Structure 1
Amino acid sequence: MRNRKIKENEWLLIAIVIGSFFNSFMSSSLNIAMPVINAEYGVGVAQVAWISKSFLLASAIGLLLAGWIADRYGRRNTFLAGNVVFGFISLLITVIPGFYPAVVLRFIQGLGSAMIMASAPALIASAFATSRRGFVLGIQTTFTYIGLSLAPLLGGLLTQILGWKSLFVFNFIFTTFALGIMFFGVKKEWRSETEKPFDLHGYLLFVIAILGIVLALDWMNRNSLIGIGISAVACYAFVVYESRKAHPFISVTFLKKNRYFTNSILAALINYATTFAISYVLSLYLQNIRGMTPVAAGIVLSFQPVMMALFSAYAGHLSDKHNPGKIASYGMGTISIALFAIGLLVNETLPLYVLAILLAILGLGFALFSSPNTNAVMSSVDAGSYGFASAFLAFGRLFGQFLSMALASALILLINNSQATLFGQEGLLLATKISFLIFGLLSCFGVYLSYQRVMSQAKNRC
């Protein structure tokens, strides 16, 4: 019986690793392909970013719902369903033409991705002992970053030789493989022992608040105040409503009491808000300003995820032995330094080896942050809330990624003051510098939040 459990856990980890790999591979490889996609559709650099933003938006608003589904109906079943949606939509994107259908399909694919991301860490937390959780999460994170490592080079190669839609064919094949491993190799199911009713009204207020921010960032003009107003009203109504509910969609009381959990989620959101658009911005810089091919640009960009892949498992192992919040704080500090350095140094003639070294330093910081922060989140809740915690963490990550893409594309649009397909090199370079400096400032705030949880934990022990 014990050997069977070990075998099932091995298949479980393999399936999750494959799912994590291709989730990250698709996001990063599409960023490399953006100039090519824009050349095909001719919608403009800022507009073509919706190929990524629609996916991230759907994932963000679907994650907490997916977490509830995982706790209620089973984390294995949720993982399987997410892979079905993710793989099937990949196939549809290759055969249905047009920019706007691609955006809609990517939105639906984002909902499938939400189910995968909400269930994967919850499955690991459910199946593996607490003493090994950080290490196993580190393995998952390592393969996530291997996906990011290979995406610039392999994604650039596929895009250059076979076209950008080949990325989705590649994804479909291996998503089907992960689906088969989980379906046939893992029979056990994990779900919460207590059934909580779904808070539909709270969820709708939450979605409205998110959409208000999205509209504000997408418009980036005087109408943005409308989006901010909608979001502010919905947020206030959400807090008031959820505070009075016996079974809220998100427990405001829990977030106030468990500051370690809350600050860990906020740190994740800020971290991804400051780092996700790096490959998008630098892909434009390397290809449009430096005149590099997608493959050559991919080689330079791969230095960051390679370092993430090399050190993530070790960082997860460290978080099993030491305070994971403290390790994650050091990681964010390293990220801040690298972001400021790139923002200050980037120009038309910056030696590419200098950029590669700075990206490698950034990747090391990211490795020190990611798996320890995930361990901190999952260790701060009870077993019945693993799905919720996993989904909330994934929401912070995905909404941070969306904010990162929205801020970067909005800055490019504002500085160039045009929706033309090709922006001038001076405007694009200025947007690149400002983006990295703003990301550096936000990352400093993330360091503060991350370290605050460590201080609050120390006070509670005293």
Structure 2
Amino acid sequence: MQGWWERVWVGGRPWWILAVVQFGNLMPSMDGSMVAIALPSMAAGTGIPLSTLQWVATIYYLVSAVVVLIAGRLGDLLGRSRVFTFGFVLFTAASLGSATVPGLPGLLACRVLQAIGGACLVANGNAIITSTFTDGRRGFALGLNSTILAGGVALGFLVGGLLTDGFGWRSVFLVNLPVGAAAIALALAVLPARKGPAKPFRFDWIGSALLALAVCGLLVGLQRLGAQRAPTAEVLGLLGGGAAALLALLAVERRTETPLLPLAVFGHRNVAVGLAAIALFCSLLAASGILLPLYLQGVLGIGAAQAGLALAPYSVTMCILAPFSGILAERFNAAWMMAGGALLAMAVSIGYAFLGVSAPLTAVALGQLLIGLAAGVFFAPNRVLLFAGLPDGFLGVVSGLMQLTRQLTYAAAIALSTLAVAVAVEPHGRLSDLSSAGTVPPAAKLAMTEAMGAVYVVLAGLLAGAAVLCLWHAHTRRRASARLVTSVRESTS
């Protein structure tokens, strides 16, 4: 019996750690889609207008974007297990509050706390995996992260719909209680405690305040740009203020003893290349999330359910492939694999640019299958590249930077894609009419298709840039390794 226990619990401890990290990925990723699908029921049950209840989702998104880098840095300084477990406790407790608190102000306050807890989980999961798996299993573990994060969003819509229909909107929060309790118990049992007290440090309050101003200014400014469909004074003020706060943050961090954002991390070329590649690749995913539903329903005239089925191959393919591409990234050059994924996505973007007003539905579905393949080949190797050779003290901050880069990219791509389509369509009809094919004038359909084609041409250019960047990185790294081997051989001969 003792031998069985040692094999399953002690010998399998890394896999138990991987399991608890996946709980930390699954809960926040499902939460967003569960809450989104429960909002109409929430409006009906509380009498609060749906337009006002959108803040229940928006405030979580904003706070999470602000806190994710801070949470990653605190994990580096205080201990990742400690911050990660705290994230479970706070997320679970705030879920209970969200389900029971009366009134919108209390619900929004609980959503702020829930966002902080979720950020603690998402920001430290990759770092925990990287420090736990130091051999060839790391790629599989990081790839599984990509699978759970992507699959959690899709699963959240299904589970959230079933819970809302069966038990009411409060159930989408209450379901987190048993899951959170199990995750807390498992985290306390398996996550390694930090040896010795944390090193004393002075928290970077100025850097955190500037980061909050920068992220809020940029995210809200981009959201307003998409909503107002013009660079108004409000939009320019928000974006300008966010950019100014970002520049001030970079200036302050150069002189801070324990900075929130240690600029030395960008001296690691894997990090700089990995983050840039994420931004370029995610622009395609974000823009497609806006463009393709409008095209399928407004131009091709199919229903929402059929449109969802046409878009589903992306998530399925990506989720299946990511862990296996992570394994390959540990054995081969991760940057080469990223370049391959970017090139495949570029080819699909070019194809989407020529869809026209009467393309077959199978063309869109095939494109989604190929983009899922490209993403599966790209994201897990990207994580392997980002964390390869990174000092332990930078793992959390890089994990936070990765999440923040994705969020800012999504906001920018969604706003600019919406703006491009609105400018083209609205001389011929309302953009909202694209949700109903029967009311869309032919001129509006043609304008939508042409604008979408132009956006996809731009996206193809961005993906080509990502591929070139990854190929350059892989080539120069290989040459540097070859020179090092030659130098070692000459010195020992």
RMSD (Å), alpha carbons: 3.9
Cα separation, partners in 2 of 1:166 and 1:451, compared to 1, 3 Å:
farther
Whole-angstrom CA distance in 1 between matches of 2:113 and 2:372: 30
Gaps spanning 5+ residues in structure 1: where?
none
Whole-angstrom CA distance in 2 between matches of 1:299 and 1:352: 10
Alignment equivalent of 2:85, drawn from 80, 85, 90: 80
Show CA shifts across 1:72-103 (max 9, x none): 22212212222233334444444568888766
Structure 2 counterpart of 1:258: 268
Contact 1:126/1:190, CA 8 A, preserved across alignment: no
Whole-angstrom CA distance in 2 between matches of 1:167 and 1:284: 28
What code does the residue aligned with 1:61 have? V
Structure 2 counterpart of 1:235: 246
Structure 2 counterpart of 1:24: 29
Whole-angstrom CA distance in 1 between matches of 2:371 and 2:386: 22
Contact 1:259/1:456, CA 8 A, preserved across alignment: no
Give the SS at the match of 2:137.
helix
Structure 1 counterpart of 2:467: 447
Cα separation, partners in 2 of 1:332 and 1:65, compared to 1, 3 Å:
same
Whole-angstrom CA distance in 2 between matches of 1:19 and 1:261: 23
What code does the residue aligned with 2:215 have? I
The alpha carbon displacement at 1:376 in A equals: 0.8
Cα separation, partners in 2 of 1:413 and 1:218, compared to 1, 3 Å:
farther
Contact 1:158/1:164, CA 8 A, preserved across alignment: yes
Alignment of 1:300 with 2:310, yes or no, is yes
Cα separation, partners in 2 of 1:37 and 1:54, compared to 1, 3 Å:
same
Whole-angstrom CA distance in 2 between matches of 1:249 and 1:120: 19
The alpha carbon displacement at 1:28 in A equals: 4.8
Whole-angstrom CA distance in 2 between matches of 1:439 and 1:33: 33
Cα separation, partners in 2 of 1:408 and 1:301, compared to 1, 3 Å:
same
Whole-angstrom CA distance in 2 between matches of 1:83 and 1:143: 17
What code does the residue aligned with 1:225 have? L
Contact 1:145/1:305, CA 8 A, preserved across alignment: yes
Contact 1:263/1:453, CA 8 A, preserved across alignment: yes
Give the SS at the match of 2:412.
helix
Contact 2:346/2:461, CA 8 A, preserved across alignment: yes
Cα separation, partners in 2 of 1:247 and 1:81, compared to 1, 3 Å:
closer
Q: 1:6-17, aligned counterparts within 5 Å?
A: 6-17=11-22
The alpha carbon displacement at 1:398 in A equals: 3.0
Contact 1:152/1:297, CA 8 A, preserved across alignment: no
Cα separation, partners in 2 of 1:194 and 1:95, compared to 1, 3 Å:
closer
Please identify, of 358-367 and 106-115, the stretch whose mean Cα deviation from structure 2 is larger. Answer: 106-115
Please identify, of 282-291 and 441-450, the stretch whose mean Cα deviation from structure 2 is larger. Answer: 282-291
Show CA shifts across 1:147-166 (max 9, x none): 24534555566567767665
Alignment equivalent of 1:181, drawn from 182, 186, 189: 186
Q: Output the TM-score relative to the length of structure 2.
A: 0.78
Structure 1 counterpart of 2:437: none
Whole-angstrom CA distance in 1 between matches of 2:214 and 2:402: 18
Whole-angstrom CA distance in 1 between matches of 2:34 and 2:470: 30
Q: 1:131-280, aligned counterparts within 5 Å?
A: 131-151=136-156, 153-154=158-159, 166-183=171-188, 185-190=189-194, 196-220=201-225, 221-223=231-233, 224-255=235-266, 257-276=267-286, 278-279=288-289
Cα separation, partners in 2 of 1:166 and 1:304, compared to 1, 3 Å:
farther
The alpha carbon displacement at 1:342 in A equals: 3.2
Cα separation, partners in 2 of 1:132 and 1:215, compared to 1, 3 Å:
same
Cα separation, partners in 2 of 1:128 and 1:168, compared to 1, 3 Å:
same
The alpha carbon displacement at 1:275 in A equals: 1.2
The alpha carbon displacement at 1:240 in A equals: 2.7
Give the SS at the match of 1:131.
coil
The alpha carbon displacement at 1:123 in A equals: 1.1
Alignment equivalent of 2:366, drawn from 357, 369, 374: 357
What code does the residue aligned with 1:447 have? A
Cα separation, partners in 2 of 1:337 and 1:176, compared to 1, 3 Å:
farther
Whole-angstrom CA distance in 2 between matches of 1:376 and 1:111: 27
Whole-angstrom CA distance in 2 between matches of 1:22 and 1:146: 11
The alpha carbon displacement at 1:229 in A equals: 2.5
Please identify, of 298-307 and 354-363, the stretch whose mean Cα deviation from structure 2 is larger. Answer: 298-307
Alignment of 1:334 with 2:344, yes or no, is yes
The alpha carbon displacement at 1:312 in A equals: 0.7
Give the SS at the match of 1:130.
coil
Between 1 and 2, higher relative CO (CA 8 Å, sep ≥ 6) is seen in: 1
Q: 1:271-420, aligned counterparts within 5 Å?
A: 271-276=281-286, 278-279=288-289, 281-283=291-293, 290=301, 292-293=303-304, 296-345=306-355, 347=357, 349-408=358-417
Please identify, of 17-26 and 163-172, the stretch whose mean Cα deviation from structure 2 is larger. Answer: 163-172
Cα separation, partners in 2 of 1:327 and 1:76, compared to 1, 3 Å:
same
Show CA shifts across 1:11-45 (max 9, x none): 2211212322333333456667789889997666x
Structure 1 counterpart of 2:491: none
Whole-angstrom CA distance in 2 between matches of 1:8 and 1:43: 46
Please identify, of 400-409 and 113-122, the stretch whose mean Cα deviation from structure 2 is larger. Answer: 400-409
Cα separation, partners in 2 of 1:196 and 1:149, compared to 1, 3 Å:
same
Whole-angstrom CA distance in 2 between matches of 1:28 and 1:413: 26
Contact 2:265/2:271, CA 8 A, preserved across alignment: no
Please identify, of 383-392 and 364-373, the stretch whose mean Cα deviation from structure 2 is larger. Answer: 383-392
Q: 1:36-47, aligned counterparts within 5 Å?
A: none
Whole-angstrom CA distance in 2 between matches of 1:31 and 1:440: 31
Please identify, of 117-126 and 76-85, the stretch whose mean Cα deviation from structure 2 is larger. Answer: 76-85
Whole-angstrom CA distance in 1 between matches of 2:176 and 2:362: 31
Q: Output the TM-score relative to the length of structure 1.
A: 0.82
The alpha carbon displacement at 1:424 in A equals: 1.5
Structure 2 counterpart of 1:68: 73
What code does the residue aligned with 2:192 have? K
Whole-angstrom CA distance in 2 between matches of 1:416 and 1:100: 38
Cα separation, partners in 2 of 1:450 and 1:345, compared to 1, 3 Å:
same
What code does the residue aligned with 2:63 have? A
